A and B are shown apart, each in its own frame.
Chain A
């Protein structure tokens, strides 16, 4: 759009564009900063969106851009698809949506690197600098693209959630990655050889598939965080290729964010990142360690009985898991909580970091049901409170309240931080059956003396409890 500007301004245009990019950067950083509190987070996101808008508009004044048909078409089509996806998605499907957006972001970065390479007819005029970053941009972007869509397929159930693997796959993956890096090296010295470029692209796409396929469905949240980080780094690389600081900085911010979240998820699941990537764990292995059924007894409770217990309690904590969302029971739960509060019972929610299907997912699902966020307590905040809690309602959660994590060094989840619900005076577990959870480990909490089981579908059980509360 620079042709609309007066001739006299043109010499100053490139610098002006850079300065406005700096303004956009400010909005991104300020936006992320405001995301630090639920009270300001929405404004933060809007700040970041404004930064993006500024960045896009000012780029249109770049003198390299002369034709707009492709741009207008692309923005309209992409914007429409994005808007529809964002409006339509169910909150339970957030991990899938983030995976898809991630894939598109990574794909776009790879395409930018490729497009930049192909528009310079004589690649020998490209400096080694930009050739290296072109190669890396294509590599990271392409593997983010295919990896994200495999993760999407696994979350959605198109692709088996089991860890699909065979002996030697890890070796093949590591080998291919080294091969790509070597090829990028060769490409830097001989950019005229188009074949090498195609092999880099093809191999990178393949690595995305083969490195996510062997990871089990339960570990997908970690994979998505990691791919999120990659998509940021891919954007940074694209920035290196076209020499644009705005891309480099924003990409780095996102890369850092993804890495931190990956780390948090790994810690909460008591796994190391290497173990997640190469360990092939977390399928529907079912039943492992479920031996010694012996003569353990389970105490059952009913809606009427439970209604009396919670109505006369002074403090009730709810420990929700993803089963709650699967049963679509958040709204009934909120009604139950409201009734208890009207009676003067103190109600809090204890949220484990991996409750739900991605970091912080449970908070979004409860927020959707109008649960105020100041009632949602993180694991570290709620754990000291269990000692003074009368009743804990464990709904649709299992592994995150399994005391084995603290007591049995031999258990696969040993060392995983859990909600210490067994410190409370009574626990009530809402569950369909006594079957083990994701990790396939039996849960001694079910058989504890202080525990009662409330068998059945979470939503129906909560509805029954809700009605029973009317009669107390």
Chain B
């Protein structure tokens, strides 16, 4: 089995898990869900780290590309998780529970 096929299996199964997990989220939480999921998509930073930190022939170009990718992905990750936390912090039950 080629690597691509193997990865495809993982991809499809993960999609199913995603559908299962998220279809149960109540509408109240849809905005934080969107921004939280958004932050998770910043996982691409892992790829950016490898591109920016490797060495090789002509590493200059790809290191710069990797650097920009890291900046973008980190904005996505840090900003996404922080703003989601800020929102969820506001969700409270009735006063007497606090």
| Chain A residues within 8 Å of B, Cβ to Cβ | 28-29, 31-33, 35-39, 41-42, 44-46, 48-49, 52, 55-56, 59-60, 62, 64-68, 70-71, 73-75, 77-79, 81-83, 85-87, 89, 91, 94, 97-98, 101-102, 104-105, 107-109, 111-112, 114-116, 118-119, 121, 127, 129, 132-133, 224-225, 228, 231-232, 234-236, 238-261, 264, 351, 353, 356, 358-361, 363-364, 367-368, 370, 372-376, 378-379
Known contacts A253-B17, A360-B31: does B81 contact A112 (CB below 8 Å)? no
Q: Are A42 and B91 in contact (CB under 8 A)?
A: yes
Across chains A and B, which 3 residue pairs bring their CB atoms closest together, nearest first? A78-B74, A256-B18, A360-B30
Sample of 25 A–B contacts (CB below 8 Å): A42-B85, A42-B88, A52-B77, A56-B46, A79-B75, A82-B76, A83-B82, A86-B83, A87-B86, A94-B83, A104-B75, A105-B44, A108-B44, A115-B66, A129-B3, A238-B44, A247-B47, A248-B7, A253-B18, A258-B37, A260-B22, A353-B30, A361-B31, A364-B90, A373-B91
Report the Cα distance A28→B38, complex, angstroms: 12
Known: A52-B42, A74-B70, A253-B17. 13 other contacts (CB 8 A): A52-B43, A60-B49, A65-B53, A78-B70, A78-B72, A82-B79, A86-B79, A86-B86, A111-B65, A129-B4, A248-B10, A257-B37, A264-B30
Q: Which residue on chain A has the smallest CB distance to residue B4?
A: A129
Q: Are B54 and A74 in contact (CB under 8 A)?
A: no
Contacts of B7 in A (CB 8 A): 239-240, 243, 245, 248
Report the Cα distance A73→B49, complex, angstroms: 12
Report the Cα distance A119→B52, complex, angstroms: 10
Contacts of B67 in A (CB 8 A): 70-71, 73-74
Cβ-neighbour of B52 out of A70, A231, A238 (below 8 A): A70
Contacts of B21 in A (CB 8 A): 29, 32-33, 36, 253, 256
Main secondary structure of the interface of B (DSSP, over half): helix
Interface residues of B in 56-98 (CB under 8 A from A): 56-59, 61-95
Report the Cα distance A67→B63, complex, angstroms: 10
Report the Cα distance A378→B65, complex, angstroms: 45
Q: Are B29 and A38 in contact (CB under 8 A)?
A: yes
Interface residue count on the B side (C-beta < 8 Å): 87
Known contacts A70-B63, A78-B72: does B49 contact A249 (CB below 8 Å)? no
Q: Which residue on chain A has the smallest CB distance to residue B14?
A: A252
Contacts of B39 in A (CB 8 A): 48-49, 52, 101
B96 → chain A closest CB, angstroms: 10
Cβ-neighbour of A250 out of B40, B48, B52, B90 (below 8 A): B40
Q: Which residue on chain B has the smallest CB distance to residue A371?
A: B92
B51 → chain A closest CB, angstroms: 4
